């Protein structure tokens, strides 16, 4: 394990990564063995069910690696979840199905989800291992209705409602971590559609074709979410996305230009590519 940590985080003899991400998990290891086929894609979590005591021995490997990364000078730590815990999901599972509407997070359970995250973050903060960021939403425009992995979709309205509720709970608990959103799987979901209309084929690369689905809107995230004054006050000044589908030969530059042009319309944020590696 120590050799792995060196290769990842040592700035002289390793990759010198600047951030470590910690998967809080959602209980799919217990709730969804029959739905998520690959055991490597299922996770435990610190609380096995509603009202159950927290078990801080979970994720021992991740906890060790985060401690070691801190000792080696890693600059940032981010906690994340792919889905709310199963008991806060509309269908009782950590992936979506035909019962899921615009999101699988139970309507009205946003504050409870926020308290769950706040409890975990406060534990690590009090332990001397505070997280810099919490990413509560992962790839929100993906349907997440196949047995590949845990996941929860969120329309733009769902995202706003969840973020504001989570922020209230983090503040109430005295958590210092900032909210990082929205980890869309493709940067095109961030961009304004009017900037892309002259190249229609770009609208179907990894997510924009899902812009309107399940009765909600899942595209134009910067305009509809990040530009709101109360969201600006609630989240870190960072727009986070992944780059799946944005590595298409001949379109890589153009895709990034769409995002940059959109960000210039709504200034005040930095851009982080938080998953995948083609720049």
pLDDT in tens, 158-183: 999 999 999 999 999 999 999 999 99
Residue 82, pLDDT above cutoff 90: yes
Burial per residue of 165-183, b for 16 or more beta-carbon CB atoms within 10 angstroms, e otherwise: bbbbbbeeeebebbbbbbb
Q: What distance in Å separates the CA atoms of residue 104 and residue 216, rounded to the nearest whole number? A: 13
The 3-state DSSP class for residue 39 equals helix
The model's pTM? 0.93
Whether 117 and 137 have beta carbons less than 8 Å apart is answered as no
Q: How confident is the model at residue 208, as a pLDDT? A: 56
Residue-wise DSSP of 151-217: -----HHHHHHHHHHHHHHHHHHT--PEEEEEEESSGGGGS-GGGTTT-GGGGGSSSGGGSEETTEE
Residues 6 or more apart whose Cβ sits within 8 Å of residue 46: 24, 25, 54, 55, 56, 58, 59, 120, 123
In a domain, 126, yes or no: yes
Note whether residue 142 is domain-resident: yes
More confident of the two residues 109 and 279: 109
- Determine, yes or no, domain membership for 10: no
pLDDT for 194 beyond 80:
yes
Number of structural domains (the chain) is: 1
| Cβ contact 25:59 at 8 Å | yes
- Residue 33 is predicted with a pLDDT of 86
**Residue 46: which CATH number?**
3.20.20.80
The mean pLDDT of 27-53, rounded to a whole number, is 90
Is residue 46, in this structure, part of any structural domain at all? yes
Does residue 74 lie in a domain region? yes
| pLDDT value at residue 205 | 47
Domain residues for the domain of 268 are 17-275
Span between the terminal Cα atoms of the chain, in Å: 29
Whether 139 maps to a domain, the answer reads: yes
User: pLDDT per residue over 195-224, tens digit each?
Assistant: 887 655 545 444 555 678 899 999 999 999
Nearest C-alpha neighbor of 28 from the set 117, 187, 151 = 151
Q: How far, in Å, CA of 36 to CA of 104, rounded?
A: 16
Residue 8 lies in a domain: no
Residue 14 contacts residue 8 (beta carbons within 8 Å): yes
Is 12 part of a structural domain of the chain?
A: no
């Amino acid at each position: 394990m120590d050799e792995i940590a060196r290769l990842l985080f040592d700035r002289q003899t390793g990759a010198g990564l600047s951030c470590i991400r910690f998967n809080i998990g959602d209980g799919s290891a217990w709730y969804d063995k029959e739905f998520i086929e690959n055991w490597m894609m299922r996770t435990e979590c610190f609380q096995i069910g509603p009202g159950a005591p927290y078990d801080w021995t979970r994720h021992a490997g991740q906890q060790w690696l985060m401690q070691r990364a801190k000792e080696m000078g890693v600059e940032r730590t981010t906690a994340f979840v792919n889905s709310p815990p199963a008991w806060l999901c509309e269908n009782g599972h950590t992936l979506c199905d035909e019962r899921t509407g615009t999101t699988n997070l139970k309507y009205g359970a946003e504050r409870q989800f926020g308290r769950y995250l706040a409890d975990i973050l406060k534990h690590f903060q009090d332990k001397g291992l505070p997280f810099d960021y919490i990413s509560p939403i992962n790839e929100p425009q993906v349907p997440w209705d196949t047995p590949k992995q845990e996941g929860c979709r969120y329309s733009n309205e769902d995202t706003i409602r969840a973020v504001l509720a989570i922020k209230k709970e983090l503040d109430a608990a005295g958590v210092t971590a900032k909210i990082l959103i929205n980890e869309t799987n493709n940067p095109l979901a961030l961009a304004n559609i009017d900037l892309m209309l002259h190249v229609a084929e770009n609208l179907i690369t990894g997510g924009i074709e899902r812009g309107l689905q399940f009765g909600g809107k899942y595209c134009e995230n910067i305009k509809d979410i990040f530009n709101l004054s109360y969201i600006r006050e609630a989240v870190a000044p960072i727009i986070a996305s992944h780059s799946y589908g944005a590595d298409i030969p001949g379109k890589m530059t153009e895709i990034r230009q769409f995002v940059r042009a959109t960000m210039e319309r709504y200034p005040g944020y930095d851009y982080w590519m938080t998953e995948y590696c083609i720049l």
